[in-house]
Amino acid sequence: ESSAEMLEEWRPLLCPFDVTTCKAMSYFEMFLPTTLPPEHHDKGFKLWLDELLKMWDNCHNCPSWEQNLVNLFARVALDNIGYIDWSPWVSKLFTRLLRSLNLPVGSKQLQVGRAGGGYDVAVAGIWIVSMMGGPKSE
């Protein structure tokens, strides 16, 4: 129930074009519970994970709050290994991670990347490893 109360309090701050989103994402990263037992997942990450993944997916301009979301996703993946189907998000995660590395591409070695810094590689690694396996993997 605390997750629902936090979401009710902080969802109004989620405007990707306003600085209040940074505050909301910081609060989400720090306070949303991710270690609930499986019988209480419906009161935890199932209330917010899809919504925040869609927000992350729709904002490609390297917002300042993106690392907060990646930290939260890595934590929820680590704390709930095998309970979340990450398969719809794997290709998007790897595309965003690859882009964040700012690797040179093409014969002219052009830098095609992001304006800001890339993802924290340790956090991205935790997210990738933690989402291996799960309900649909065989």
Instruction: Give the pLDDT score at 100.
Output: 80
Give pLDDT tens digits for 88-117. 999 998 888 888 877 776 666 655 555 556
Confidence (pLDDT) at 116: 58
Per-residue CA distances from 16 to 1, 7, 22, 66, 105 (Å): 26, 16, 9, 11, 30
Give the pLDDT confidence of 69-88 residue by residue, as tens digits.
999 999 999 999 999 999 99
Total Cβ atoms within 10 A of residue 13: 16
* 6, 32 contact by CB (below 8 A): yes
Length reported for the chain: 138
Q: Give the pLDDT of residue 27.
A: 96
Angle at 66 between CA 123 and CA 33, to 5 degrees: 65
φ and ψ at 79, to 5 degrees?
A: -80, -10
Residue 87 identity (one-letter amino acid): S
27-71 residue pLDDT tens: 999 999 999 999 999 999 999 999 999 999 988 777 788 899 999
SS3 state at 111? strand
